[in-house]
Amino acid sequence: MPRLKAAAFLAGCAEADFGAVTEACELTPPTLSKAATALEAAGYLRIRKGHVGRRPRTWLSLTTRGRCAFKAHLAALAALTEQGRAHDA
Amino acid sequence: MTPQAALTAAANVRRTAAAHRMPSWFPAVSASTFTLGMVISGVAQLNGFGSGARSGMSTVGAALIVANLALYPLLVWRWRRSGVIPRADGCVPATRRRIALWATPVAFALSAVVWVSTGSFGWMLMATGVLFGAEGWYRQTGWRQR
């Protein structure tokens, strides 16, 4: 779930600061860090170090591959939901 | 967690990110400073003004164009401070994207036509200001419509 939340947030913007993602996704920094590392290892996420003024910031963004994978994942979830509804009916 | 709950959570989080977009005032202020700056600079180039009035208008025109250029780093700075950079591409409706693709070369061509037909640099500046101001406003308002 942390990976899905982080990917969903990053799919809605071009790039986001690590702190902004933890806040919006209601994740703790270690949880997001672990999720980001896993997504980066899969080639879905880009991690960039930068500064705003003197404060160091870590910027996260989805790669093109990550955006495609996220769309495919949402489509798979939607299909599962439909299957569940059809099964119940 | 059910697939439905995961979908809902993903949609909510994505909506939070997409809420960070270009401020509503930006397209209007950007287009008007550019258009006014170019029109005033263009008028300053026309005959019929004294050297004092001409240099005054040129200064005001240049100041407005500099103000327009300064708006962009200001916008990026605001985004970077907030921690979320909105998507500029891929969030514009397809029709707007198609029109915006043609709008820039058409605006260039029309400015050139005005320059050639009037033979006046001032009129060309004014036409460029109006055309590119409108084109920029159209493109930037498209970024807000997702």
In this predicted structure, the answer to whether residue B1 has a pLDDT above a threshold of 80 is no
Give the whole-number percent of chain B exceeding pLDDT 70.
93
State the nearest Cα–Cα gap between A52 and chain B, in angstroms. 7
Task: Indicate if ipTM > 0.90.
Answer: no
Mean pLDDT over B11-38 rounds to 86
In this predicted structure, the answer to whether residue B44 has a pLDDT above a threshold of 80 is yes
Q: Do A74 and B10 touch (CB under 8 A)?
A: yes
**A-chain residue closest to B17, CA distance:** A12
**B-chain residue closest to A82, CA distance:** B4
Mean pLDDT over B102-131 rounds to 88
Residue B139 CA to residue B146 CA, distance in Å, equals 13
Residue-level pLDDT at B36 = 95
Quote the mean pLDDT of chain B.
Answer: 84
- Element (H or E) spanning A45, and its range? strand A45-52
Residue-level pLDDT at A89 = 67
> Predicted confidence band at B93 (pLDDT cuts at 50, 70, 90)?
low
State the nearest Cα–Cα gap between A37 and chain B, in angstroms. 19
Query: What is the CATH code for A2-88?
Result: 1.10.10.10
Residue-level pLDDT at B146 = 52
Mean pLDDT over B68-93 rounds to 82
Interface check for A84 against chain B (CB to CB < 8 A): the answer is yes
Interface check for A86 against chain B (CB to CB < 8 A): the answer is no
Residue-level pLDDT at B91 = 55
Residue to mutate among B1, B85, B91, B92, with most A CBs inside 10 A, is: B85
Interface check for B83 against chain A (CB to CB < 8 A): the answer is yes
Residue to mutate among B13, B77, B82, with most A CBs inside 10 A, is: B13
Residue-level pLDDT at B49 = 77
Interface check for B16 against chain A (CB to CB < 8 A): the answer is yes
Residue-level pLDDT at B84 = 87
Residue-level pLDDT at A12 = 83
Q: Do B83 and A80 touch (CB under 8 A)?
A: no
Interface check for A46 against chain B (CB to CB < 8 A): the answer is no
Closest partner residue to A81 (CB to CB) among B1, B7, B88 is B7
Residue-level pLDDT at B8 = 84
Q: Do B7 and A78 touch (CB under 8 A)?
A: yes
Residue A18 CA to residue A50 CA, distance in Å, equals 11
Integer-rounded Cα radius of gyration of chain A: 15
Residue-level pLDDT at B145 = 59
State the nearest Cα–Cα gap between B127 and chain A, in angstroms. 34
Mean pLDDT over B85-104 rounds to 72
Give the whole-number percent of chain B exceeding pLDDT 90.
29
Q: What is the pLDDT along chain A (89 residues), one digit of tens a residue?
A: 888 888 888 888 888 999 888 988 888 999 989 989 989 998 999 999 888 777 888 999 999 898 888 888 888 888 888 887 777 76
